Amino acid sequence: MFPLPQKECREPATCLGSASPQDMGRYCRGDVEGECSRRAELKRPELCGVGDPIAMFSSASSCLSSRGRVIKWFWDSAEEGYRTYHRDEYDEDKNPNGVINLGTSENKLCFDLLSRRLTQSDMLRVEPPLLQYPDWRGHLFLREEVAKFLSYYCKSPLPLKAENVVVLNGCASIFSALATVLCEVGEAFLIPTPYYGAITQHIYLYGNVRLAYVYLDSEVTGQDTRPFQLTVEKLETALQGAKSEGVKVKGLILINPQNPLGDIYSPGELQEFLGFAKRHSLHVILDEIYMLSVFQESLEFRSVLSLERLPDPQRTHVLWGMSKDFGMSGLRFGTLYTENQDVATAVASLCRYHGLSGLVQYQVSKLLQDRDWINRVYLPENLARLKAAHTYVSEELRALGVPFLNRGAGFFIWVDLRKYLRKATFEEETLLWRRFLDNKVLLSFGKAFECKEPGWFRVVFSDRPQRLRLGMQRVRQVLESNPK
């Protein structure tokens, strides 16, 4: 049901948490934003369920600790797609035959708007407190602004409070800190798959916390169901499965809008999942980082913060950041919202390692405060561009006769290329992925999201029209030259 070692390591220094050698394979293929897709078979451990899983790292890197070698291995194993892309990055003028990146989930559509706003004179303010040691939870002026911003855009029934806000340098850091303060070494969070694979590392590298997968599949079983639909029944089964393996599950991670599916949970579904968590005293970590990237007008996204009553507010923790909705993954801004002051304080205690510059805190507060620009300039234009790009790629896929999930949120389309595999294996999936890369277009394969069905790919569409056109042309070339 999910990757677990058959027998627990007692000695953490030589223990991979959830990782049996076989599981290392799973771990290594998480989708890593900024590092594109990974090579599936690269350095796949050969040992299988016996001996010391660290042993395989012992020959090289003799100066590193065993966990240091594992940490380095995560970096190295991510390299093939990333290296290829960065060695040969597409540039319209300088390198028109370079690799087009439709693998990394970044919004590259609104640089003009952002650049204009970020270079306005109000962005460059330098006051003594901004250059001095901050309140590690984040400057109060910023936390107040975040609380107002989330109250407004999440439509919270009551104003949210600055004291429940902790500011960090990105949501990766929030996952790392939350995992560490909520779980013991080796404990787990439930997560429905397919999911944004980098979370595997975020909770593991420092925290030694693992994931217990709730595997979803594409089969539609009834009138009101959809592919990869999460249900309480599936959550219960996965939880019981973990228990029967002796694994302590401490929480549930939900990504909403979902990455890579683009799905949105309805308020009713949210309440059911929260109810399930409460019954089992599980924390719920809600990653709502795409909450403002819902470009289909007919859809209504409901943040968990909009609910009239949370079943278990002390165990409900919300993540948001500017990487996606404001197209600035390089800004490194993420925020945790939690009513649990113990959790907020414990995370703050780790913020010394996740702090962001006072100058950036000031800039973010100015941006979040500028409702006029957000509501009249940025959001409408951004959503229109996302929609146009989504429409373009959807039509291309339709023209190719390729099935896909037609959703209205996020930066990506979840595409069913199963018919292009000669056999339904992840090896075949990797081969197809490499054919795309050889044809200079980088995609993410389903295994990186722990999808249980080989042949699904995530195609990012939030790029500029010219690059998108060329990227889709290259996708088409591969698919047309490679019928089943």
Q: Looking at residues 268 to 307 of the shown chain, list those that interact with a second copy (rule: CB under 8 A).
A: 283
What values do phi and psi take at 400, rounded to 5? -80, -10
Size of the site for a second copy (CB under 8 A): 89
398 is written with which tokens? Answer: 């339709």
65 lies in the binding site for a second copy (CB under 8 A):
yes
Give 103 or 257: the residue with its C-beta nearer to a second copy.
Answer: 103
| Residue type at 311 in one-letter notation | P
133 lies in the binding site for a second copy (CB under 8 A):
yes
CA distance 161 to 139: 14
Give the number of other CB atoms < 10 A from CB of residue 177.
26
Give 170 or 227: the residue with its C-beta nearer to a second copy.
Answer: 170
If we measure between CA atoms, which residue out of 294, 289, 235, 286 comes closest to residue 264?
294
Alpha-helical runs (H) found in 312-441: 341-350, 358-369, 371-372, 379-400, 426-438
Among 307, 328, 409, 468, binds a second copy (CB under 8 A): 328
184 lies in the binding site for a second copy (CB under 8 A):
yes
Max CA pair span of the chain: 65
Give 172 or 255: the residue with its C-beta nearer to a second copy.
Answer: 172
390 is written with which tokens? Answer: 């989504």
340 lies in the binding site for a second copy (CB under 8 A):
yes
Site for a second copy in 228-267 (CB under 8 A): 250
136 lies in the binding site for a second copy (CB under 8 A):
yes
Among 20, 66, 164, 258, binds a second copy (CB under 8 A): 66
CB 37 within 8 A of CB 430: no
CB 79 within 8 A of CB 36: no
353 lies in the binding site for a second copy (CB under 8 A):
yes
151 is written with which tokens? Answer: 């109250």
Among 42, 162, 232, 359, binds a second copy (CB under 8 A): 359
| Residue type at 119 in one-letter notation | T
Min separation Cβ 66 and a second copy, Å: 6
Among 95, 266, 357, 466, binds a second copy (CB under 8 A): 357
The three-state secondary structure class of 100 is strand
**Segment interacting with a second copy (CB under 8 A) among 154-162, 188-196, 347-355, 437-445:** 347-355
**Segment interacting with a second copy (CB under 8 A) among 125-133, 370-378, 397-405, 406-414:** 125-133
**Segment interacting with a second copy (CB under 8 A) among 233-241, 258-266, 349-357, 440-448:** 349-357
Site string (362-401) toward a second copy, x via CB under 8 A: -x--------------------------------------
Among 38, 332, 366, 458, binds a second copy (CB under 8 A): 332
What values do phi and psi take at 125, rounded to 5? -115, 135
CA distance 330 to 104: 13
484 lies in the binding site for a second copy (CB under 8 A):
no
**Which residues lie closer than 8 Å to 282 by C-beta, 6 or more apart?**
190, 249, 250, 251, 252, 276, 315
The three-state secondary structure class of 319 is strand
Among 181, 310, 400, 431, binds a second copy (CB under 8 A): 181
Helices first, then strands: H and E counts in the chain? 16, 12
Min separation Cβ 156 and a second copy, Å: 22
What residues does 320 pair with on adjacent strands? 335
Site for a second copy in 200-229 (CB under 8 A): 201-202, 205-206
325 lies in the binding site for a second copy (CB under 8 A):
no
CB 410 within 8 A of CB 262: yes
